[in-house]
Structure 1
């Protein structure tokens, strides 16, 4: 029984560490690579225009997934497809690390949902 608990604990720790490794990326490099994103999403990731999502504080892996989906066409948006077309997997990890590291100013969806006034 003790051995089973030890193995279970080790497995849980390994899963946690591997999740952290998958979410890796350089915040500093991400800030540099995200410079073109700032025009719409803001340098602090908190866009003031509701048509552009606020990226600050979003989950790292979510941001990576979304960027990959724009890149491979699963999400259709010609502007975003063009923006991510030249990003490598490492670039995407870095950009996601940058935006996910920023504090979000989004405390409610009021005024931030397209069509909401």
Structure 2
């Protein structure tokens, strides 16, 4: 029983550590790779036009997931599909690290949710 608990604990530690490593990316490299994103999402990730999501301060893994979903066709947006088509997994990690490292200017959801005016 003690051995099983030790193995489970070790497995949990490995899973946590590997998820942190997978989420890492390099924010400095991501800033350079995200240059084409700035036109819609802003250099600081806080898009002014409400049709474009604010990326600043979003969860790193969430951004990675969304970019992969656009790339794999699980999310249907022709503009985003074209933008992510050439990104490698490392590029996605780096771009996500960059935007997730930025401070968000979103202090409330008022006016940012459809039907909430």
Task: Find the counterpart in structure 2 of residue 17 from structure 1.
Answer: 17
Q: TM-score, normalised by structure 2?
A: 0.88
1:38-86 CA deviation, whole Å, 9 max, x = no partner? 1111111111111110111111111111111111211111111111111
Separation in structure 1 between the aligned mates of residue 12 and residue 27 of structure 2, nearest angstrom: 27
Separation in structure 1 between the aligned mates of residue 69 and residue 8 of structure 2, nearest angstrom: 34
Deviation at 1:24, TM superposition (A): 2.0
Q: TM-score, normalised by structure 1?
A: 0.88
Task: Find the counterpart in structure 1 of residue 60 from structure 2.
Answer: 60
Task: Find the counterpart in structure 2 of residue 112 from structure 1.
Answer: 112
Separation in structure 2 between the aligned mates of residue 61 and residue 103 of structure 1, nearest angstrom: 16
Say if 2:83 is the partner of 1:71.
Answer: no
How many residue pairs align between the two structures? 117
Point out where structure 1 has 5 or more consecutive residues left out of the alignment: none
The structure 1 segments of at least 4 consecutive aligned residues displaced by more than 4 Å after TM superposition are 1-5, 114-117
Task: Find the counterpart in structure 2 of residue 100 from structure 1.
Answer: 100
Point out where structure 2 has 5 or more consecutive residues left out of the alignment: none
Please report the RMSD computed on the Cα atoms of aligned residues, expressed in angstroms. Answer: 1.7
